[in-house]
Amino acid sequence: MELLAFGKTGWGDELFIATLMTIAVSITAMLIGFLFALIFTPLKLSKNKFFNLIANSYTTVIRGVPELLVIYLFFFGGSGAVMFVASIFGYNEYIEINAFITGSFAIGIISGAYSTEVFRGAIQSIDKGQFEASQVLGLKRFVYFFRVIMPQMLRLAIPNLSNVWQITLKDTSLISVTGLVEIMRQSYIAAGSTRDPLFFYSFAAVLYLLLTFLSMKLINRLEIKYSRGF
Amino acid sequence: MITSFPKLLGATVVTLKLLSLSLFFGLFIGLLFAILRLNKNKIINKFAYGYSYVFRGTPLLVQIFIIYFGLGQIEYFRSTFLWVVFKEPYWCAIIAFALNTGAYTSEILRSAFQTIKPGFIEAGKSLGISNKIIFYKIQIPIAIRQSLPAYGNEIILMMKGTSLASTVTLMDLTGVAKYIISTTFKPIEVFIVAGGIYLFMTFIIHNSIKFLEKKYGYQ
């Protein structure tokens, strides 16, 4: 237990901050994923073949290629790409991107592919009559999407989104290869300096279990909230 | 881009070996724990549930690190014959993958066993077939058919999971890709080649599962 003491003697505070970092990266990545899903779900459902192709290749490629490879692409290629874009605007200095941004972007793109599939499935399983009824009632597009389709979609999507959240949370452990100090990286540092890898990695596993357990509890509440009336 | 292709193709063999061995062992582990999950004894049941909960709730990376870096720390463990296996990163990775995929497989098989209609088993019993034969000839074939789509997804997830072997010094497809990227600084080209190989494997797995589904489907 000495090893977990807070302050200079133990690793308690470091691991606590690392846990907060893991949560921060997961939430950021999940939100970036939603942003991608917001773009690609309409493309996937559109009748235009070209849009379909774009959205399908996004989800197929991301879901068929290992997460680690995507992270390496962003880690090694990220600053190069940003520098290239900056050079077009006449900025030629070296730009280093923060590991947090690269990491959450890489994980966000992965999580976005899964979210897109979830939203697509949820929208497709809404009864066609609902769309037709809103049209007959003359509801504005905006109202009909946010007040009719959205609530029904969320009810169907939340159980699957909770799976996406779990995947995203576990994927953040892979960002440790880029040097961002989250749970895995901090355990690696602690294990290296105390020569006690068994303890620290097991503790990391416990932290992850705790995170998944607590988030499941929260999501269950959301699920109950959105399935009112069913 | 072209020069890196043979190297990456060579590394694909390592990835495929890791994948097939861990799936092979994982299937046995999964079947064992699925049967334990269906056991009526509460302690056995809880144990099997705990196993799958822990392995599905923690990242694969943590599991590999515990097995590769962690177990070597126990003095007593190093003197046993098991150390021959556990000192190799290759076997550590396979053990971690097999335990991980075993947890997911056990869930898939459990739900497949639970969806079997009781009528099938009752029909077998009323025909006087022994429990053992009912299990092997009725329950297992139906369960395999039920679980094929989900198991296909699990194979693809596991194939992606083998990329983590590169974190314990193994030179699999991702490991070699990372090495080439960090020596040539051409991340996009290498990503296209390595990603293409992974996608190709996903494509093959996906289609063979579809083929099997058709072959063993109800139609």
Q: Which helix (H) or strand (E) holds A175?
A: none
The answer to whether the Cβ–Cβ distance between B195 and A61 falls below 8 Å is yes
pLDDT at site B203? 93
Q: Which residues of A touch B70 (CB under 8 A)?
A: 197-198, 201-202
The arithmetic mean of pLDDT across residues A162-187, rounded, is 91
Check if A60 contacts B (Cβ < 8 Å): yes
Say if the Cβ atoms of B69 and A61 lie within 8 Å.
no
A59 touches B: beta carbon within 8 Å = no
Average confidence (pLDDT) over A183-208: 90
Kindly state the helix (H) or strand (E) to which residue A114 belongs, with its residue range.
helix A99-124
- A144 CB-near residues (< 8 Å, 6+ apart): A131, A134, A135
Question: If phi over 0 gives left and psi between -120 and 50 gives alpha, with beta otherwise, what is residue B80?
Answer: beta
pLDDT in tens, B175-191: 999 888 888 888 888 88
Contact A195 B73 (CB under 8 A): yes
State the sign of the Cα–Cα–Cα–Cα dihedral A106, A21, A117, B175.
positive
Contact A165/A29 with Cβ under 8 angstroms? no
A16-224: CATH topology: MetI-like fold (1.10.3720)
The model carries a pTM of 0.87
8 Å CB contact between B131 and B188: no
Q: Where are the domains of chain B?
A: 4-216
Do B203 and B35 form a contact (C-beta atoms < 8 A)? no
So what's the pLDDT on residue A215?
93
CA angle A116, A119, A122 (to 5 degrees): 150
DSSP state for residue A147 in the 8-state scheme: I
Q: Please, where are the H alpha helices in chain B?
A: 4-37, 42-57, 60-65, 75-79, 83-86, 89-115, 118-126, 131-133, 140-161, 173-184, 187-216
In this complex, which of A68, A76, A196 lies closest to B182 when CB atoms are compared? A76
Say yes or no for a CB contact (<8 Å) between B160 and A61.
Answer: no
Spatial CB neighbours of A115, under 8 Å, sequence gap ≥ 6: A33, A34, A36, A37, A161, A164
- Do A205 and B73 lie within an 8 Å CB cutoff? no
pLDDT at A46: 87
State the CATH architecture for B4-216: Orthogonal Bundle (1.10)
pLDDT, one tens digit per residue, over B82-103 is: 787 788 889 999 999 999 999 9
Residues in chain A: 230
**pLDDT tens, position by position, A131-149:** 888 888 888 878 887 888 8
Tokens of B142: 């139906």
Nearest CB to B199; choose among A64, A68, A201:
A64
Percent of chain A clearing pLDDT 70 (strictly above): 97
Contact A196 B166 (CB under 8 A): no
How distant is the Cα of B161 from the closest Cα of chain A, in angstroms?
A: 7
Query: Is residue A171 within 8 angstroms of chain B, CB to CB?
Result: yes
- Tell me whether A212 touches chain B (CB under 8 Å): yes
- CB-CB neighbors (< 8 A) of B63 in chain A: 205
In which residue ranges of chain B is pLDDT below 50? Answer: 219
Answer whether A189 touches B (CB < 8 Å): no
